[in-house]
Amino acid sequence: MSSTTARSSTDTSCRNNMSSSKVFEIQTQSHSEILDITGVVQGAIRDSGVQEGMVLVYCPHTTAAITINENGDPDVKRDLLTGLDILSPKRGEYRHFEGNSDAHLKSSLVGASELLVLQEGRLVLGTWQSVYFCEFDGPRRREFIVKIMEG
């Protein structure tokens, strides 16, 4: 299983609104995988004490991504990876010397961040929605940032 740990935390107050930023480390286990980080994000919100605002989940990597999708049927995560392989195959007319252009393309297709609504101390998510960290060139030690903005 993947482990997720908080590396650092800063809290600042600006114009009477609280802002909290926390960096989490995550060890991915496969070349490509989608990991549910909803509980980690919700834990950061709980620690911040912020009840109302916005939450940015950001991935500072060029071969990984953040997305929101279904948490009911685990085959959805598998199908997302299968579909991304079709959109961005391993082999192609790429030039990038690292040989991981498919992972760079997937990162841009999915996106580096998600912005979520925070109400009454909870993420506003649909019944079947979870927040996911997407690995496209693992296994690696990765980071993601949870920025909580009160307002």
Rounded to the nearest whole angstrom, what is the least distance from the CB of residue 29 to Zn ion in the complex?
20
* Angstrom distances, CA of residue 121 to CA of 101, 106, 114, 127, 150: 39, 32, 18, 17, 10
Q: Binding residues for Zn ion, per CB under 5 A? A: 98, 100
Q: Would you say 68 or 94 has its CB closer to Zn ion?
A: 94
**Would you report the helix, strand and coil content of the chain in percent, each value rounded to 5?**
25, 45, 35
Pick 77 or 142: Cβ nearer Zn ion:
142
Nearer to Zn ion, 41 or 59 (CB): 59
Residue 63: CB minimum distance to Zn ion, A? 6
Residue of minimal Cβ distance to Zn ion: 98
Alpha-carbon torsion, ordered 32, 38, 41, 46, to 10 deg? -160
* Beta carbon of residue 25, minimum distance to Zn ion (angstroms, whole number): 21
* Residue 102 beta carbon to Zn ion: minimum distance, rounded to whole angstroms: 10
Of 52 and 98, the one with the shorter C-beta distance to Zn ion is 98
Residue 101 CA: distances (Å) to CA of 43, 59, 87, 134: 34, 18, 12, 16
